[in-house]
Amino acid sequence: MLRPAFVGFIRDTVGYLARSLPSGAYAGEALSMPVASVQIFDADNERVLSLDSTVGRPVVRIPRPGFYTVRTPGREALLAVNVDPRESDLRPVPPDVLARWQTATVAATEPSDGGVSRDNVVTADDRSSEANWHPLAPWLLALAAVLLVVESMAANIGRFKVPSWLPL
């Protein structure tokens, strides 16, 4: 039997599959909106586009990653702006590039007048704060182990007692 809810379901499904608004982009990428009169709001519900750039088919550059709401006449959609995957390259840096980077940073921190740079000076306060630092992870691991043993013992209390009605 055909019910009226099925018609609404099909309409929403076709609208979802045939949507023309983008659902994702990279931060800083030029994003062309395929509809006229569009407005984009960030997570704080503040406008990303100025009012004069909402008319026509705007090209938008969203600088920060996050979720944005794209509102058009009669439609509202979410837009996910992500960090460019090229910025998340986890491969090791080649040794020659690393050496150039280290020499460039050393040259930038050395003062030109031959004096001592404050960045390279280690004071007694710096050493004492490093000496007083202790990792918390071993203590948390020991506490978790103790709680695991106590919980196991508490769960098994009375479990292995022989009932009094059994003849032995």
Task: Please count the structural domains in the chain.
Answer: 1
| Structure confidence at residue 101 (pLDDT) | 87
Q: Give a yes or no: residue 163 inside a domain.
A: no
Does position 21 have pLDDT exceeding 80, yes or no? no
In-domain check, residue 74 = yes
Which domain, by its residues, includes 37?
Answer: 21-84
For residue 128, is it within any domain?
no
* Residue 29 contacts residue 61 (beta carbons within 8 Å): yes
- For residue 155, tell me if it sits in a domain: no
In a domain, 120, yes or no: no
In a domain, 162, yes or no: no
| pLDDT exceeds 90 at position 154 | no
Rounded CA separation 155/147 (Å): 12
99-141 pLDDT tens trace: 998 888 887 666 655 554 555 544 545 555 555 677 888 999 9
Average pLDDT of the chain to the nearest whole number = 76
pLDDT of 149 reads 92
* DSSP-assigned letters across all residues of 68-105: EEEEETTEEEEEEEE--GGGG--SPPPHHHHHHHHHHH
Q: How far is CA 121 from CA 93, 109, 162, in A?
A: 28, 11, 72
Residue 36 domain-assigned?
A: yes
Record the tokens describing residue 112, joined without a space. 């030109």
Give me the residue label for tokens 């280290």.
102
Asked whether residue 78 is domain-assigned, the answer is yes
Burial class (CB in 10 A: 0-12, 13-18, 19+), 38: buried
Domain at 78, CATH number:
2.60.40.10
The first and second tokens of residue 58, run together, are 């705007």
Question: Could you say which DSSP state residue 36 is in?
Answer: S
pTM above 0.75, yes or no: no
Phi-psi domain of 84 (left: phi exceeds 0; alpha: psi -120 through 50; beta: other):
beta
From residue 130, how far is each of 127, 134, 135 by CA, in Å?
5, 9, 11
Distance CA 61, CA 17 (A): 25
